[in-house]
Structure 1
Amino acid sequence: MSSSKATPKIVAKADPRLEAAMIERPDPSPKELKTEEVGLKRVARPIRHVRHVPVKSLIFYSRRGPIEFSYDSKIKLPINKNKVIVQIQYVGLNPVDMKIRNSYQTGIYGAAGLGREYSGIVTHVGENVQSHWSEGDEVYGIYFHPRQAVGCLQTSVLIDPREDPIMLKPMCLSMKEASGALFALGAAYNILDKLQKSGALQKNANICIIGGTSCVGMAAIQLLKKHYNLYALLTVITRGDGRNLLKKKFPSIADEMIFVNYLTCRGKVSVPLKQMIEEGQITDFDEETNEEYTIEYDQGKYDIILDFVGGYDLLQHSSSLIRTGGYYVTTVGDYVANYKKDIYNSADNPSANMRKAFGSMLWLYNYMHFQFDPSVALSKKNNWMGKCSELLERKTVKIVVDKTYDWKNHKEALSYMATQRARGKIILKVEKF
């Protein structure tokens, strides 16, 4: 049977529902739905909380190696409950920086930092010290850890106020001046405080300062004349134009000082001092008028000699220069200071050790090799931090800044310090990071 003849019979016997399904309908078939092509897209992630403060610092590995910038240090957050973070703005250089660097003969100890005093702004405050410090406080202080290979010549420093001297910056000081205000002044104050407590520092004491244009020397001059009210003439040994500088910076006490040029006697300052004591006068030269003039001197031998340069010349002639029971105080020792070679906390020579051990028993005067301990622990005994802050706030002591460098120019700054001819503080400006 052909398929054409069988179809009607099949349809006739089929289920009506099947027949309905076979009817052609006029409605078109549904159109295909267009979909966008599936792909991955980059979506911004939410900002994550930074758990540290990045730090940029100046470091070195040995005395012969370069000083370079490092980005490896970080201060973890949150900080210790008893500490604060200070964003550094300026750092004052000190001779001790060069002595510490000279102590690192090789790089086996790793990276070491520079800078011992600073000024800056508090950015983070620990929970336990929020009653004393606030974010935004302008502060200055000392960061002295010579044996821990750290310094404050970096963008941020973690400070422990229980150990590191830190105070609010006096309103009368700029941030630049504040960065060089505390170390030298603190050293001079502690020296004179010891002498006063020993009974040696009287208002009529006859005092000689060697190194009058050093930072400690200028601080001592101001303290003696403006704080301790010394009314005897003060003998100041300096070099070159140091006399003119001191008269210009401290005009109110310029006539209360006798100047001796260190260079004219080729470093043998004992010669003009002995001559002045024996003859009762000294000849000086006024560079403005180009004329010599004579100053009468009737104060005799010295009660106190403060030596901030070093050397053995005055000690060799001490019997002709120092009264019995007087004091010879040095911050350097028997050797003339040499910033290119001196190392930190170096041992004295045998003769200096003998003077320290036996004192006036052998030499008829008291010998003191003073080394400043700029710690909060010392301040708890004599409040040197508070006293120095008061002296600065009252403008009793003026901070003299010689030169300011960007910290990128640290080589120039250290080279200038190495000449030992700075007339005041050398300051480095720290950039923000």
Structure 2
Amino acid sequence: MKSLMMTKYGDAGTSLKVQEVPIPNFGKNQILIKTHSASFNPIDYKILRGDFKAMGKIQFPKGIGRDVSGIVEKVGKNVKNFKAGDKVYSRIAEDFVGTMAEYVISNDNDAALIPSNLSFDESASIPLAGLTSYQALVDVVKLSSGENILIHAGSGGVGTIAIQLAKHLGANVTSTTSTKNVKLVKDLGADKVIDYTKHSYLDESAKFDVVFDTLGGEHTLNAFKVLKDGGRVVSISGALDSITAKQFGLNKFVRLILAFQARKVTKTAAKMNAMYRFLFMSSSGAQLKKIAKLYESGSIKPVIDKTYDFKSSIQALEYLSTGRAKGKVIVKIVK
């Protein structure tokens, strides 16, 4: 089968190549999916350029892509929830990374039936970004009706879902974006949109119960400047906290280094009696099933910027890496 492979650390234009590889073998608790559509996420180009070497180096060549939608080709002998012919989607486990390929393996408990009202392209836009938003807002900060939340980068893959989910949960949503995306973010349901090219969210007098930091860098520490005492900050790009570091199974030396790097954030959180968590989402078919219901009810709608065919998949990742995508970038494997 054909698969887009990472051949070395670098950028998309120089470090990716379509190669012929064997159809993967699947185990007793796994399903083999014939890929119809897949989507890229920022983690894909960040891993490609070597941002996560401290957590383990890649043995090249290595597949790329974590989101998939397609049709079940075969099932393992212990699989009860799926059968050949089912339309499914999954954020596949790291062991099987490589959804930019004609066939993909998923653990059965990482997959779910696609939303009944969505296409394969639309369904492929959901898994990683949808699970990230769900786990951040529902599991980590437990966002409640009536609370005020600031969501950065509202026009991005995670932001477009997070805004809609936060509104579904009854929160008052403020989001940041650039001028050209203000209408999109308003249409998604944001109660207030801050055009960061004209205004700073730090000038806001409002204090937030929750800040969803999707940007990292200075935004992580600045989150506490607009947070209420006792509030919650969840980040997908900021400093790694001790709880998440342990979940990664990192050794004590690496955890000490990370703790030193995160010291300003953890001290600031402690002073404000606030919670800070770094979230690295976990695959979950059970949660994808819940998320599917939100799409089927119309509470959340997919936002897709561009769709590429498989032969243009490298250009798709190059486009996503510019940071200008509105919503998700899809690669159609089967025309």
For the criterion TM > 0.5, the same-fold answer is yes
The Cα shift of 1:122 comes to 1.2
Answer whether contact 1:355 1:363 (CA < 8 A) is retained.
no
Deviation at 1:260, TM superposition (A): 0.9
Confirm or deny: 8 A CA contact 1:206 1:303 kept in the other structure: yes
Contact 2:111 2:284 in 1 (8 A): no
Change (3 A) 1:348 1:74: same
The CA deviation string for residues 151-170 of structure 1, in whole angstroms up to 9 with x for no partner, is 121111233314xx111122
State yes or no: 1:120 paired with 2:66.
no
8 Å Cα contact 2:132-2:158 kept in structure 1: yes
What is aligned with 1:367? 276
Report the Cα distance in structure 1 between the residues aligned to 2:217 and 2:130, rounded to whole angstroms.
23
From the superposition, tell whether residues 313 and 384 of structure 1 become closer, same or farther in structure 2 (CA, over 3 Å).
closer
Q: Deviations over 1:360-400 (max 9, x none)?
A: 43344222222212246xxxxxx523321221222211110
Give the secondary structure class of the aligned counterpart of 1:241.
Answer: helix
Q: Deviations over 1:196-228 (max 9, x none)?
A: 54xxx33221221111111211111111112x1
- Which of 330, 343, 351 does residue 235 from structure 2 map onto? 330
> Residues of 1 paired with 2:316 and 2:295: CA distance?
26
Alignment of 1:309-348 (within 5 A): 309-312=215-218, 315-316=221-222, 318-319=224-225, 321-333=226-238
Question: Which of residues 385, 390, 405 is equivalent to 2:293?
Answer: 390
CA distance in 2, matches of 1:63, 1:240: 34
After TM superposition, the structure 1 = structure 2 runs for residues 202-217 of structure 1, keeping only pairs within 5 Å, are: 202-217=144-159
Q: 1:351 to 1:409 in 2, by over 3 A?
A: same
Match of 1:86 among 29, 33, 45: 33
Q: 1:314 to 1:101 in 2, by over 3 A?
A: closer
In structure 2, the residue matched to 1:68 is 17
Instruction: Quote the Cα distance in structure 1 between the aligned partners of 2:132 and 2:288.
Output: 11
1:238-257 aligned at under 5 Å gives the runs 238-248=177-187, 250=188, 253=189, 257=191
Asked whether the equivalents of residues 144 and 151 of structure 1 are also in contact (C-alpha less than 8 Å), the reply is: no
Question: Aligned with 1:74: secondary structure?
Answer: coil
Aligned to 2:245: none
1:151 is aligned to 2:151: no
Q: Return the match for 1:308 from 196, 205, 214.
A: 214
Instruction: Give the letter aligned to residue 86 of structure 1.
Output: I
Q: Give me the identity figure in percent.
A: 29
Structure 1 portions without partners, runs of 5+? 1-54, 278-299, 336-344, 377-382
Structure 1 or 2: larger helix share? 2
State the secondary structure of the residue aligned to 1:399.
Answer: coil
Deviation sequence 1:265-306 (CA, Å, 0-9, x none)? 4xx531x32xxx1xxxxxxxxxxxxxxxxxxxxxx3211111
Unaligned runs of 5+ in 2: 241-249
CA distance in 2, matches of 1:317, 1:90: 36
Partners of 2:163 and 2:217 in 1: CA distance = 20
TM-score normalised to structure 2 length: 0.84
Q: What TM-score do you get using the length of structure 1 for normalisation?
A: 0.66
Shift in CA distance, 348/392, structure 1 to aligned 2, threshold 3 Å: farther
Q: Is 1:355 aligned to residue 265 of structure 2?
A: yes
Shift of 1:246: 2.2
Taking structure 1 as reference, are residues 236 and 83 closer, same or farther at Cα in structure 2, changes over 3 Å only?
closer
CA–CA distance in structure 2, aligned partners of residues 225 and 355 of structure 1: 28
Quick one: structure 1 residues 349 and 263, their matched pair in 2 at CA, closer, same or farther if it must change by over 3 Å?
farther
4+ residue segments displaced more than 4 Å? 345-349
Tell me if the contact between 1:61 and 1:109 (Cα under 8 Å) persists in the aligned partners: no
1:412 and 2:315 are equivalent in the alignment: yes
Which one has a bigger Cα radius of gyration?
1
Q: Could you tell me which residue of structure 2 aligns to residue 236 of structure 1?
A: 175
Residues in 1 aligned to 2:196 and 2:229: alpha-carbon distance in whole angstroms = 25
User: In the alignment, which residue of structure 1 is the partner of 2:115?
Assistant: 170
Whether the 8 Å CA contact 1:269–1:314 is kept in 2: the answer is no
Highest relative contact order (Cα 8 Å, sep 6+), 1 or 2? 2
CA drift of 1:333 comes to: 1.0
Distance across 2 between alignment mates of 1:58 and 1:195: 34
1:120 to partner: Cα distance: 0.7
Measured on the aligned residues, the alpha-carbon RMSD in Å equals 2.8
Q: Distance in 2 between the 1:359 and 1:384 partners?
A: 32
Give the 3-state SS of the residue equivalent to 2:122 in structure 1: helix
Distance 2:167 2:132 in 1: 17
- Higher mean alpha-carbon deviation, 392-401 vs 95-104, is at 95-104
- Residue 160 of structure 1 corresponds to which residue in structure 2? 107
Deviation at 1:113, TM superposition (A): 0.6
Query: How many residues are matched?
Result: 314
